[in-house]
Structure formats: C-alpha cells, structure tokens
Structure 1
Amino acid sequence: MARPQHKTFDKKKSVAENRRARFDYHIDDTFEAGIALTGTEVKSLRFGEGSIAESYAEVRGGEAWLVNSNVPEFSHGNRFNHEPKRPRKLLLHQREIDRLQGAVERKGMTIVPLSIYFNSRGRAKVELALARGKNAADKRATIKDRDWKRDKARLLRDHG
C-alpha cells in the first residue's frame, strides 16, 4: 500500500523558511500551528522580516512553545515594541501537543519549525515537523541524490 501523502497547507505568503531542516533531519510528520504574537511582531512579519533558522519547539507545562526564533523589532514600534528572541506560544489542540510530547519523550524526536507563513485568512501560522536527526552518512547520501538529480535534469535537457 502506498504511503499517504501529507496534506499541503494553505500558504499565501511565506515569511521565513528553515531550509536547513530538511537537510539535517528526517521529516516524519508535519503539523500546522497558530502562533501567539503581539501587534508589532505581526507588522514585522508582514514586512517579511523574521528567522527560524536555529529555532526549535518544545512542550512545557502542557503548552507548546517556539524557542529561539528571531522576529526583529518593528521600525515604528516605539515603546510598545517586542523582544526579538522571546519564546512564542504555539496554538495547537491538546491531542496534538500530547502526540508531540510523546514522540519527543519516547522516540527521541525533535520538533522543528519548517516555515512561518500567513494563510488565506491573514493569520500567522507555523509549519512544525516531528523529525529525527540525520547522521553524516545520511547527509552525504542526500547530497549525492541531489547532485544526481541535477545532473540527470541537465542531461535530459541537453539530449532530450
């Protein structure tokens, strides 16, 4: 039986992408989570600023948190501006939080954010993944496959 395909999320405007995550981790399952933001954080994200390159998610006290993500201060934010690297609460159903926590505790997996985007309703969302780290040999195999696909496309284009 074929493996079921993941549903794609309704991404209208992608703000930040963690491109390194697919190289460093085997992605098992993906989740869409809302994110609790202040006003100046939303404005900063709408301008396309923000980074999740070295961030991760964790479950503390029955709640999911996005840690070490960087949303720079809004240029016109004055005294109401936010702290750029503060932990941000992720909005998930309780059964999803329990599933994430169980996978982290029992299977030794990591919760990695893949992207931050705005959906069609204008809400900021985070695409999370349950992931298992790759070792050096797996990373070499990934590089080898990527290079072979590039060469194959080049050969087909030239001689096709």
Structure 2
Amino acid sequence: MAKEKVKKNLEFKNRKAFHDYFILDKFEAGVELQGSEVKAIREGRVNLKDTHVRIIKNEIFVLNMHISHLSTTHATYRPDERRSRKLLMHRKEINKLHEKVTKEGITIVPLKLYFNSKNLVKLQIATAQGKKLHDKREDLKAKTMLRETQQALKNYK
C-alpha cells in the first residue's frame, strides 16, 4: 500500500482579536521568515495571542509573534523567537492602512496565519476599532444564548 500524503489545513487564529476589537477591513500579507521558521509553523509552534502590527518608516512589521524553535535546528542558526518580522504588501495597501491608522481609535491587528494555495505563509491582518467593556459583555451574552438554543434544538430531536 502506498502512503497517501494528507494535506492538513494549517490555520492559526487570533481569537483574542475578535473578542477585543470590531473588525473593519481585512488584508492579506506575506511574512518574511528566516531559517527553520516555516518548518516550525508547519509543526504548529506559533502563538498570535499578544501580536500587533506597526507601520515603521513606510514598512509594515508584525511585532511579538512567537515562533518556537525546532529541536533539530542548530543553536547558532536560531533566530529570536519574538523578533519583529517584516510583512510583504504593496505600497498602495500600506499607504491605505497608514491613512486609516492615523484616525483616532483604529489599530491594525493580525487575525490568522495560514498557508495559501501556493504553499506560502500568509498573515491576515485587519483594521480594527477597540470594543468597550459593555460591548464585550453583549457579545458574550449573544454567544451563550446561541449556544443554548443550539443545544436545546439538538436535545429536542
């Protein structure tokens, strides 16, 4: 029997961003990686929880994204796990993002990291506006109500 290669849909979401922000516009950006970081991402050694995106000197960077080392990488070739990584976007898109960010209360947050159809690492980023505490509570109430109704319908059948 020949072993078939099963392609896993690797996708790492930043759930905290959906909880803390209203998502306005979404963009796709490539990520500039070093060494064995792609292999580490394939193994699932990524954390997007505390990441944020900044525009510095007309270039866009993702800061504080944690990609752990593989056990097989040599100590001298290990890049810093929380280093700032440059995002690859067109100049027009970066300018558009910069215009929106200069407005009050709008930030850029990473939403998910994934491999596209051409097997390249992409980061979905979005312009977002912060939620107030009462908005977060309303969202939680809506989620629990939806969950309870789905459970009731499931038990009814």
Structure 2 length-normalised TM:
0.90
Cross-structure match for 1:77: 73
Displacement of 1:74 in angstroms is 2.4
C-alpha separation in 1, matches of 2:70 and 2:154: 46
Q: Does 1:42 align with 2:38?
A: yes
- Asked whether 1:140 is paired with 2:137, we answer yes
* Cα root mean square deviation, aligned: 1.4
5+ residue gaps, structure 1: 1-10
Aligned equivalent of 1:3: none
Identity, in percent, stands at 36
- Larger Rg over CA atoms: 2
Code of the aligned partner of 1:151: E
1:59-107 per-residue CA deviation (whole Å, 9 max, x = no partner) reads 0110100001101122211121111010000001111111111111124
- Corresponding residue SS for 2:41: helix
Structure 2 residues without counterparts, runs of 5 or longer: 1-7
1:29 maps to a residue whose letter is D
Distance between the aligned counterparts of 1:35 and 1:150, measured in 2?
36
Deviation string 1:10-54 (CA, Å, 9 cap, x unpaired) is x9421x221111111000111110000012111211111111100
Between the aligned partners of 1:111 and 1:71, the Cα distance in structure 2 is 20
- Give TM-score, length-normalised by structure 1: 0.88
Encode CA deviations 1:128-152: one digit per residue, 9 max, x unaligned.
0111010000000000100110111
- Work out whether residues 105 and 130 of structure 2, in 8 Å CA contact, stay in contact via their aligned partners in 1: no
Aligned length: 149
Query: Once superposed, which parts of structure 1, at least 4 consecutive aligned residues long, lie more than 4 Å away?
Result: none
